[in-house]
């Protein structure tokens, strides 16, 4: 089972999800191991000069991407553990 867990964790480290906010003005890509892989900001989002709005869009997209990545990670690791409760997982 340990080898399966390591294999799944390695796959999750390269699997990504992308979420956006502000109608696509901000896009955040997260890896399913919990790391942020990238942030793209449409230059038009900068022209408004509303820094607070831009910060909110970044925060929203980041949280959505991390939540989606966590759901995928939990589902994939859950397949390996088959419902066993392991400390630090889930």
Q: Where are the domains of the chain?
A: 2-81
Burial of 75-84, coded b for 16+ CB within 10 Å and e otherwise, reads eebeebbeee
Q: What is the pLDDT of residue 79?
A: 84
Q: What is the pLDDT of residue 9?
A: 87
Q: What is the pLDDT of residues 6-47, one digit of tens each?
A: 888 899 899 999 999 999 999 999 999 999 999 999 999 888
> Token pair of 75, please?
């589902």
Class of the CATH domain delimited by 2-81: alpha beta
Q: What is the pLDDT of residues 37-90, one digit of tens each?
A: 999 999 998 887 889 999 999 999 999 999 999 999 988 888 887 756 656 655
Phi–psi pair at 27, nearest 5 degrees:
-125, 130
Check if the beta carbon of residue 16 is closer than 8 Å to that of residue 37. yes
Distance CA 73, CA 90 (A): 9
């Amino acid at each position: 089972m340990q080898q399966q867990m390591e294999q799944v964790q390695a796959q999750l480290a390269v699997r990504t999800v992308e979420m956006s906010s502000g109608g696509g003005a901000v896009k955040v890509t997260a890896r399913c191991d919990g790391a942020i892989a990238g942030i793209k900001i449409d230059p038009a989002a900068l022209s408004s000069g509303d820094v607070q709005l831009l910060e909110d869009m970044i925060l929203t997209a980041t949280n959505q991407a991390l939540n989606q990545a966590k759901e995928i990670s939990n589902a994939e690791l859950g397949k390996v553990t088959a419902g066993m409760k392991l400390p630090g997982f889930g």
